[in-house]
Amino acid sequence: MTSDKPRNRPLAIVVGGGPAGLTAAIALAEGGITTVLVGKRPAKPDNRTTALLAGSVTALQTLGVWDHCVAHAAPLKIMRIVDDTGRLWRAPEVKFDASEIELEAFGYNIENRHLVEALERRARALPTLQIIENEVSAVLPQADTTTVELKDGVAIHAELVVGADGRQSLCRAAAGIVIDDRHYPQVALTVCLRHSRPHQNASTEFHTPTGPFTLVPLPGLRSSLVWVLDPARADEFASLDDHQLSDKIERASHSILGKIEVEPGRGLFPLHVAIARRFADKRVALVGEAAHVVPPIGAQGLNLGLRDAAAIGELAVGAHRRRHEIGGADVMAAYDRMRRSDIGTRTLAIDLLNRTLLTDFLPIQSARGLGLYMIDHIGPLRRAVMREGVAPAVAQPRLMRGEAL
Ligand SMILES: Cc1cc2nc3c(=O)[nH]c(=O)nc-3n(C[C@H](O)[C@H](O)[C@H](O)COP(=O)(O)OP(=O)(O)OC[C@H]3O[C@@H](n4cnc5c(N)ncnc54)[C@H](O)[C@@H]3O)c2cc1C
């Protein structure tokens, strides 16, 4: 990113340079909208990885980003769910194979640092996009424009502001949008690892009584781990030395990847679920975690965020071509409508699935087991679940279908 002042008055400002904000900025600028992205560097490095599902990969290809990602990404051909709760009512193991729905892979797993680097590289090549490394201190929506003030006192005005400033979104507060937020008694421990046996491009999600323990392939003999634990155990495991932690992981994974060696860098993420009551208002459209947060189950969080970015890009570029205002009330309402069902249904489904893991209530445990049994045994149901998991049946933004804006 560069420290700078805006070159010209832009039509759009994106606040936040994470993966959702960068994607929104590229989509807007590719569609001919002069855009300024203002982002501050995150406080600490992000050691997480993202399983990008097929539609997200198509969108990144369409935006000219994927070529910069491909060397760092591993295909996900098989996804397994293993009930490791040790409870009386245990679900059968369910295995999803991408070839069953005529896909080469459900998607690709990539380290977040490589994904952000690839997006920044593409963003820097677009003449209609300027990146300013700074912190936004205030967002002031007005009737015919919105003003964004930077920490150094510079003010920028634009028709549309895209709020991609994460969980504690300043943009969301400025637009007066309320978010419903619930915390879980869980923390995700994240780490990348090397292993002695090949992963065969299979991701495995062990469902444990504290939450999922998920291994996702990276290129070569490497994988990423998201281990959802109760807060005390997450702290305890995070403070183990490399040898002790590798050992714990090897045992928890039932040695399916052989000998484990953790790599440097660990993350701890308290889990919660949050959904904004509106996704756009007063010339501010929310994307990514500014709009919704889900626990890391089934690789949905950023995939939803990229669909938000693609949707606001599509609507704003459409309005711009019709010579309409890109931040007007009609665009705000259309964006809210376009994203509501996708975000609402996925947030609800992930929340329910997570809660069935935490409950000791036998009828709920058996209902979960029965659900997974049916998915495993009924082919058309399994294929429908796979298709819906990869992409929503309705309201897929155009970029996810490979159509340029
Ligand atoms: C353990 C874990 C595993 C996950 N795995 C997956 C997965 O496999 N697949 C998937 O799809 N999703 C996954 N997710 C979700 C995914 O990581 C998030 O959805 C994603 O990182 C959110 O991106 P974002 O751009 O919305 O927000 P962020 O990455 O939080 O970016 C927000 C940016 O805004 C900047 N910012 C904030 N305030 C300001 C300000 N005032 N001025 C300027 N800049 C500002 C911040 O510095 C930051 O750079 C996972 C989440 C967790 C916790």
DSSP character string of 102-135:
T-S-SEEEEEHHHHHHHHHHHHHT-TTEEEEE--
Contact (CB, 8 A) for 371 and 283: no
pLDDT digits (tens, 9 = 90+) for 167-203: 999 999 999 999 999 999 999 999 999 999 999 999 9
Centre of ligand 1 from the C-alpha of residue 167, in Å: 8
Q: Does 107 contact ligand 1 (Cβ within 6 A)?
A: no
- pLDDT the model gives residue 200: 96
Centre of ligand 1 from the C-alpha of residue 41, in Å: 12
The DSSP code for 98 is G
Tens digit of pLDDT at every position of the chain (405 positions): 554 677 778 999 999 999 999 999 999 999 999 999 999 988 888 999 999 999 999 999 999 999 999 999 999 999 898 888 776 566 667 888 988 888 899 999 999 999 999 999 999 999 999 999 999 999 999 989 999 999 999 999 999 999 999 999 999 999 999 999 999 999 999 999 999 999 999 999 898 888 889 999 999 999 999 999 999 999 999 999 999 999 999 999 999 999 999 999 999 999 999 999 999 999 999 999 999 999 888 778 999 999 999 999 999 999 999 999 999 999 999 999 999 999 998 888 888 777 766 666 555 666 666 666 666 666 666 566 667 666 776 678 999 999 999
Give dist(CA 169, CA 163) in Å, integer.
7
Which amino acid, one-letter code, is at 338? M
Give dist(CA 395, CA 228) in Å, integer.
31
Show Cβ contacts of residue 56 under 8 Å, excluding neighbours closer than 6 positions. Answer: 107, 302, 303, 306, 307, 400
Contact (CB, 8 A) for 121 and 92: no
Q: Does 120 contact ligand 1 (Cβ within 6 A)?
A: no
| CA nearest ligand 1 atom 16, residue | 302
Contact (CB, 8 A) for 214 and 242: no
Q: Does 164 contact ligand 1 (Cβ within 6 A)?
A: yes
| CA nearest ligand 1 atom 38, residue | 165
Q: What is the DSSP string of 83-107?
A: E-S--SS-PPPEEEEGGGGT-S-SE
Centre of ligand 1 from the C-alpha of residue 119, in Å: 14
Bridge-based pairing of strands 107-111 and 49-53 is antiparallel
Q: Does 288 contact ligand 1 (Cβ within 6 A)?
A: yes
| CA nearest ligand 1 atom 49, residue | 18
Residue with tokens 């002031």: 140
Q: Does 212 contact ligand 1 (Cβ within 6 A)?
A: no
Q: Which atom of ligand 1 is nearest to the CA of 21?
A: 25
Q: Does 286 contact ligand 1 (Cβ within 6 A)?
A: no
Q: Does 6 contact ligand 1 (Cβ within 6 A)?
A: no
Q: Does 48 contact ligand 1 (Cβ within 6 A)?
A: yes
- pLDDT the model gives residue 167: 95
DSSP-assigned beta bridge partners for residue 125: none
Centre of ligand 1 from the C-alpha of residue 300, in Å: 12
Give dist(CA 15, CA 103) in Å, integer.
35
365 membership: H or E segment, kind and range: helix 362-377
| CA nearest ligand 1 atom 26, residue | 288
Give dist(CA 247, CA 116) in Å, integer.
31
Cβ contacts of 168-174, under 8 Å, gap ≥ 24: 169/286, 169/289, 169/290, 170/15, 170/136, 170/138, 170/139, 171/15, 171/136, 171/139, 171/284, 171/286, 171/290, 172/276, 172/284, 172/286, 172/290, 172/291, 174/138, 174/139, 174/140, 174/141, 174/282, 174/284
| CA nearest ligand 1 atom 53, residue | 269
Q: What are phi and psi of 69, to 5 degrees?
A: -100, -30
- pLDDT the model gives residue 283: 97
Mutate to test the pocket of ligand 1, among 112, 150, 302, 303 (most ligand atoms within 8 A of CB): 302
DSSP-assigned beta bridge partners for residue 293: 274
Give dist(CA 307, CA 122) in Å, integer.
18
Give dist(CA 298, CA 339) in Å, integer.
19
